Structure 1
Amino acid sequence: MSQPVNRQHRSFLFVPGTRPERFEKALSSGADAVIVDLEDAVSPGDKDRARQAVAEWLSPERPVLIRVNAVGTPWFEQDAALGKLRGVAGIVLPKAERAADVSTLVSRTRSTMPVFPLIESAKGMWNALEVAKAPFVHQLMFGTLDFCADMGMASDGEELDTFRAKLVMISRVAEIRPPIDGVTPAIDDAQLLEAETTKAKRWGFAGKLCIHPKQVLTINDCFAPSEAEIAWAKKVLDAFERANGAAVAVDGKMVDRPVIIRAQGILDASRGV
């Protein structure tokens, strides 16, 4: 079952708002969070029907995130109103380009639930720090495909590395959780998914968006600390505790504050904290 967003999430699975028969399947996929999508996965003529289906299905016993349509679209106001319903654990805000976009959403939901702005354009990237510091922003998400389209970039490969690093740095400066990387559209290419997920982790991302249940396990496994990482973290923290504030080395390397923070982060991630 999808969990509330008070723990470290790795996998965020989209499910179309027009397919309520898939909602329960998404919840049982093993994804850390399910995003019921009212935006890209729903055609303009089906927006009202999808919103109604979601409103009727929502329940506190099965918390999900909702991706609403962007601020300024004809559907935003009614989508945002879903945030007042029990069962909505957070809202994914697409095409976020200004702090005012987040503030507008929050004013409509009248709640303190987490907001996940999607950075999908040059303007959004330029103003990402402003967006990250807006009220109730929990994490930034990187809409890689839309970003490439907006920038006129040929692919979403290494060309995006500079922007990935920027989003990780901005999240740190804004003192929010590390960002979530974009989707891998090739749902049958397990090797590509593993490579892209591993790369996202290496760049400092905390998780990844996915569009098919078969992608969930790979994403969860790639972001989970390895046994070697956990063993190293325990060794570092044990040595630091025994040193009682004195200088200490582990495997020939000095243990200082950044090393302690990294080791504690690995153990926290292994426990789902």
Structure 2
Amino acid sequence: MDSVSNNKDSNKTKTTAHNNTWLFVPATRLDRIAKAFDSGAEAVIVDLEDAVAQEDKAQARDALKKYYDNQNEKQGYQPIWLRINQAGSDAFLADLVLCQQMPTLAGVLLAKAEQAADIEHVHQRTGMPVIALIESAAGLYQIDSMAKATGLAAFSYGFLDLCNDLRVQVGTPAADIVANQIRYQLILTSKVHSLAPPIDTVYPDFNDEEGLCTRVQLWSQMGMSGMLCIHPKQVAVVHKALQPTDKEIQFATRVVAEYEGSGQAVFKIDGEMVDAPVIARARQLLTQWQTDG
């Protein structure tokens, strides 16, 4: 049991620390990888699943292996993540073989995850941390079981696929309710099983900066760790939206200073009662702000 826990903690540290932005690049456009890193994305995901037609997957794997070998020869390789195809699909085993041939990948995203055994199989075959993408009702129903899988680092989800499976109408108030329920389930399950906080789904309209900013503030306030991005221009918007306001920094600074100066466990600042949870949050905010800055 201890070895499993330690394994999970190690994977969590490797995979999601400070990774607020996870930017997809189609496996058919490997020339975009450098641009993706230049955008400021903390993690770049090469997509072998939805972004590649079935008849093009073999060619995409070959091209990615050549890219990997060339980058390693130049010593300029930046570790990428790889989204592989669903367990049981025709492409799944070939994707695993490719992962084994690229041992310095950052990790693997398993599309349409539905079983703990599939996550463990990916981890055992590749030795890499796995992020499970929840994209079906069956997968959502099994998240507690999957959370116990050896090698799992974090959850994310594909909301459009989930909506199709659950027959939820996208773009409606009902869809917003369902999305927040999914977020809550993933956040709670991840916390209970000592996983990294989950990663939010994509925001499809990459020209809607205001809407994206609102979405980022929502998931970050709920306690999620990052977001899947589909366009480089989204990266800067996400980073900006995650920055605390000057007012929040000033308040947190005063809280910590008063606590450390007075030693009081409960006190008031500007008429607001401050106790242990507020102090803890202030310290957390300042630590994150100083780290990101």
Q: TM-score, normalised to structure 1's length?
A: 0.89
Match of 2:110 among 77, 87, 93: 93
- Counterpart-to-counterpart distance in 2, 1:250 and 1:80: 56
The answer on whether the counterparts of 2:265 and 2:275 sit within 8 Å (CA) in structure 1 is no
Distance 1:268 1:70 in 2: 38
Distance 1:238 1:81 in 2: 54
**Residue 80 of structure 2 is aligned to residue 64 of structure 1:** yes
Q: Which moved more, 1:259-268 or 1:17-26?
A: 259-268
Q: What's the counterpart of residue 277 of structure 2?
A: 258
How far apart, in 2, do the equivalents of 1:193 and 1:169 lie?
24
Match of 1:207 in 2: 226
Native 8 Å contact 1:17 1:41 kept in 2: yes
Deviation at 1:133, TM superposition (A): 2.7
> Partner residue of 1:81?
97
**Pairing of 1:187-206 with structure 2 (within 5 A):** 187-206=206-225
Please, which of 211, 214, 222 is the counterpart of residue 241 of structure 2?
222
1:5-51 Cα distance to aligned partner (Å, 9 max, x none):
35221111100001111111111111111100000000000111111
CA distance 1:259–1:83, change in 2 (3 Å): farther
Any conservation in 2 of the 1:224–1:269 contact (CA below 8 Å)? no
The alignment's C-alpha RMSD in Å is 2.1
Q: Structure 2 vs 1, CA of residues 236 and 176 (structure 1 numbering), >3 Å: closer, same or farther?
A: farther
Q: Structure 1 residue 140 and structure 2 residue 155: aligned?
A: yes
- Within 5 A, what are the aligned runs for 1:1-273? 5=15, 7-58=17-68, 59=71, 61-84=77-100, 85-109=102-126, 111=127, 113-155=128-170, 157-159=175-177, 160-244=179-263, 246-270=265-289, 271-272=291-292
Q: Secondary structure of 1:135's partner?
A: coil
Q: Structure 1: 5+ residue runs without aligned partners?
A: none
- Give the number of the structure whose residues are more often helix, by fraction: 2
Moved over 4 A (4+): none
Task: Classify the secondary structure of the residue corresponding to 2:154.
Answer: coil
Q: Residue by residue, what CA displacement relative to the aligned partner does 1:91-137 show, whole Å, maximum 9, x if unpaired?
A: 1111111211211111211x1x3211111111111111222232232
Distance (Å, rounded) in 1 between the aligned partners of 2:207 and 2:109: 26
TM (norm. structure 2) is 0.84
- Secondary structure, aligned partner of 2:235: helix
Deviates more, 1:55-64 or 1:44-53: 55-64
Change (3 A) 1:32 1:228: farther
Report the count of equivalent residues: 268
Structure number, greater radius of gyration: 2
Conservation of the 8 A alpha-carbon contact between 2:220 and 2:226: yes
Query: How many angstroms apart in 1 are the aligned matches of 2:64 and 2:52?
Result: 12
CA spacing shift, 1:145–1:256, aligned 2, 3 Å: same
Distance 2:116 2:280 in 1: 30
CA distance in 2, matches of 1:22, 1:171: 32
Residue by residue, what CA displacement relative to the aligned partner does 1:209-243 show, whole Å, maximum 9, x if unpaired?
A: 11111111111111233333333333222222223
Indicate if the aligned counterparts of 2:123 and 2:129 stay in contact, CA closer than 8 A.
no
1:37-73 per-residue CA deviation (whole Å, 9 max, x = no partner) reads 0000000001111111112222463111110111111
Q: Sequence identity of aligned pairs in percent?
A: 38
Change (3 A) 1:222 1:242: same
Mapped to 1, the partners of 2:276 and 2:129 lie a distance apart of 30
- Aligned equivalents of 2:195, 2:268: Cα separation in 1: 31
Structure 2 unaligned segments of length 5 or more: list them.
1-13
